Structure 1
Amino acid sequence: MPVPESSDRVALVTGAGRGIGRAVAIALSRQGLRVALTARSAAELAETAQACPADTLVVPADLLDLSGVDQVFDQVEDAWGPVTDLVLNAGTSGSARIERTSDEDWQHTLDLNLTAPFRCVRRAVPAMRASGNGRIVAIASVAGKVGEPYIAAYTASKHGLLGLVRSAAAELAGDGVTVNAVCPGYVDTPMTDATVRAIAAATGRTPEQARDALARKQPTGRLVTPDEVADVVLLCLANPSITGQAINVDGGAVQS
């Protein structure tokens, strides 16, 4: 579904340097949106920008920095005006037994997967309210709906992210602002590559066996592609009647 009035819209994609964030940025750019790209790696952002056919703005930043979110939004607003389409993709994952999950790992996961998105939403909302229009999409996970062993911090952060999405959607629906989440299963991205390496190291399986095990968690028998996730993000940005939803893109693993 094409995004309407795309030439007047300003998108900001966090975690845009690779994986799902890169796929979303390219998809939005192909729709004619001006796309601001942020992540920690300037080199990866430059690669994403090179793949985008329309105007891009590269804004390297660390969203864990207390001033990072404001700095990003300030640069975008100075260049193009207020953000109309916010895609919250930056995040982290990890795996450990509960008793081996340190306070530092727990806090880092919550900070990046939940607190940073909250700060971005808080920063974007005033301009969206004022204009009577806005779109916010968070890349969550099916781990935000069900629990799996060894990922307590990640699962807790994604459950919290869905809570933020639902509450914000209820609050902003009357202001013309939609807020949704896209919940992928295992996606063929660098983050999944890291999961594969961790499984192989912990279990003695080959990387190929570990990747196949993740693929078989989904009834389709394969990993989701980043472009398939990006397609659902575009749907959420285009349709003003979809709000407060958490849409699974997981090959049928979680039916909800």
Structure 2
Amino acid sequence: MTLNGKHALITGGGTGIGLAIAKMLVAQGAHVTITGRRQEVLEEVATEGMTAMAMDVRNEDEVVAKIASAVAARGPVQICIPNAGLATGKAAHKTDMTFWRDMMATNLDGAFLTIRECLPGMLSTDWGRVIAVSSMAGLKGLPGAACYSASKHGMIGLIRSLSEEYMGKPYTFNSLCPGYVDTEIVSRNTQSISERAGISTDAARDMMVKANRHKRLITVDEVSAAAAWLVGPDSGSINGQSIEIAGGMM
């Protein structure tokens, strides 16, 4: 099985995990629409086989219009990867509604809108894969990050429900749940943790490294390899799963 002729769409596709998955899909023959908030960032990284399309997943009208445009240009989206997300911690008693709503609008509402708008085209075909990039925080509570954990738990609930809704059809819905991955998000969080906890940046980074059971950061290629498995041959019985990529059970 190859992915020749299949259209994939990845939100947050200009950096980190999203870009790694985009490169993997292109290598297997798919055409990938990568989205993000900044067109210039997307265009800088887009290679042959990718189309850059600025899209803010928090804006329903924009998601509807942009995905319709992508489908009109490149056909139904058969591989939908809601990956765009915020990963910022804040103590619950310091979490105001602006912070809460922005996190939910990006991580959960954005995933829902992206999947919803890709589904009609996917359902007109004989094969489809939805792979949501959640987090280990979607499976366990994360201290100091109640908002983030809630948004990622919600994403997993959404995926599990969709897998039931379309059970028996040639479409699967799964979540990837990485631990701490070596991306720009870890770099930003290193500084944030350092400032909040009053510790050095080295100590802050070490906290995230040690949170992974194998005591190292996960690479983006390790996450994209899991996505490759889910779009590969004989993956049709993997459905409704939350696949942990964290160096060991957490």
Q: Distance in 2 between matches of 1:236 and 1:32?
A: 15
Where do 1:49-198 residues align within 5 Å?
Answer: 49-50=46-47, 54-198=48-192
TM-score if structure 1 supplies the norm length? Answer: 0.93
1:45 maps to 2:39: no
- Please point out which of 5, 28, 32 is paired with 1:31: 28
Q: Distance in 1 between matches of 2:70 and 2:127?
A: 18
TM-score if structure 2 supplies the norm length? Answer: 0.96
Q: Deviations over 1:12-42 (max 9, x none)?
A: 0100111111111111111111010100111
Give the CA RMSD over aligned residues: 1.2
SS of residue matched to 2:23: helix
Please list every run of 5 or more consecutive structure 2 residues that lacks an aligned counterpart in the other structure. Answer: none
- Please point out which of 184, 189, 199 is paired with 2:193: 199
Answer yes or no: is the 8 Å Cα contact 1:11–1:86 preserved in 2. yes
Please list every run of 5 or more consecutive structure 1 residues that lacks an aligned counterpart in the other structure. Answer: none
* Sequence identity (%): 34
Q: Distance in 2 between matches of 1:91 and 1:218?
A: 20
- Please point out which of 237, 243, 247 is paired with 1:241: 237
Q: Deviations over 1:185-228 (max 9, x none)?
A: 00001111111111111122221221112101112110001111
SS of residue matched to 2:84: coil
Aligned residue identity for 1:242: I
Q: Distance in 2 between matches of 1:94 and 1:64?
A: 17
The total of aligned residue pairs comes to 248
TM-superposed CA distance for 1:127, in Å, is 1.9
Q: Distance in 2 between matches of 1:253 and 1:196?
A: 23
Q: Distance in 1 between matches of 2:149 and 2:105?
A: 13
